[in-house]
Amino acid sequence: MAVTINDIKKLRDMTGAGLSDCKKALIESDNDITKAMELIRKRGQAIAAKREDRDAAQGIAVGKSVGNFAAIVALKCETDFVAKNEKFVALAKAILEAALAAKAKNVDEVNALVVDGKVVPEAITALSGITGEKMELGAYECLEAPSTVVYNHFNGMLAAAVAFNQEGVDAEVAKAIAMQVASMKPLKATRDQVSQETIDEELRMAVDKTKAEMVKKAVENALKKAGFNAYYCATEEHQKEAVMKGYMTEEQVEEAKKLMAETAAAKEANMPEQMIQNIAQGRLGKFFQENVLMEQVYEASENKETVAQFLENASKGLVATDLKRVNLNVD
């Protein structure tokens, strides 16, 4: 039976495959639409399998809030060209809508959903076979609270969601905080959500940095007092440069090195522990101010008010209780 252009168009509408692929499948299946669809599906799976080791660094991150539930889906592919493809964007949005309808809590629940007659992984594989690029569900995040909001960045690669403790939060206020999350990259909404492990590590680094600065300052003061230039003593390369340019002799370099070692050892053995802890706690506080949403300075504020103050002014007792942020670009 001859393959007609109408048959080819019909199969293309049903599968999304290219005209040449549809024609080939119809010829091989003796114009049997059902068999042709199966051939295209299997070829798509084979193409997707061949691309499995490729890097899917492009894609789309899209989110939506429906009342007290918000979700973000990131669908990844290999190139920006496919990321902007109508069918690719439509699939990402279809997965998102299915997740919202089911109030899916995690990736496993999303993968069990049916989109266009297929479970999500099969739907992704089918489109991967059509485009010839590796595709994967890159991320799924969700929030459930009295109020939720989602901000989708214009580049299609970034989406942020925020949960609030009150119903009916003003739309502009909610959007402003979601944009804050997108641009300022807080790790958590509130301080008590930061893990103790993270706090301990930040405090340890703050203590180490403070001690290192105290030792460096003591060494620089000792060098200055002895008549040495701290810059030319700082590293072996700088010391060689000083000798080469005639600023120091080999003997002076050795004398400076000995002074530096003795001063550092003496300072390390006699550290003002309480002062160090005070400074380290101050640095830990700065970490919270930079990485906890409620403690960040609200970026659109003219008087440097915090996000907590901005929300309190908007509605008494209003608090951002959780956040999610998906960015397919490297921050």
**In what order do the strands lie in the sheet containing 136-144?**
58-66, 69-77, 136-144
pLDDT in tens, 74-110: 999 989 998 998 999 999 999 999 999 999 999 999 9
Q: CA-CA distance, 288 to 191, in Å (whole number)? A: 7
| pTM: predicted TM-score of the whole model, two decimal places | 0.80
Q: How far is CA 123 from the centre of its chain?
A: 25
As to burial, measured by CB atoms within 10 angstroms (0-12 exposed, 13-18 middle, 19+ buried), residue 277 is middle
How confident is the model over 232-256, as a mean pLDDT? 95
Maximum C-alpha span of the chain: 99
For 187, the enclosing helix (H) or strand (E) is: none
pLDDT in tens, 44-71: 665 555 556 666 789 999 999 998 999 9
CB count within 10 Å of CB 88 equals: 24
* Predicted pLDDT of residue 8: 79
Spatial contact of 288 and 194, defined as CB atoms under 8 Å apart: yes
- Which candidate, 128, 72, 127, places its Cα nearest to that of 97? 72
Alpha-helix runs per DSSP H in the chain: 5-15, 19-28, 33-50, 80-83, 86-102, 107-111, 120-131, 171-184, 196-225, 230-233, 236-244, 250-268, 273-291, 307-314
DSSP 61-127: EEEEEETTEEEEEEEEES-HHHHT-HHHHHHHHHHHHHHHHHT--SHHHHHTSEETTEEHHHHHHHH
- Which candidate, 182, 233, 209, places its Cα nearest to that of 282? 209
How confident is the model over 252-268, as a mean pLDDT? 97
* Predicted pLDDT of residue 51: 59
Q: How many residues does the chain have?
A: 331
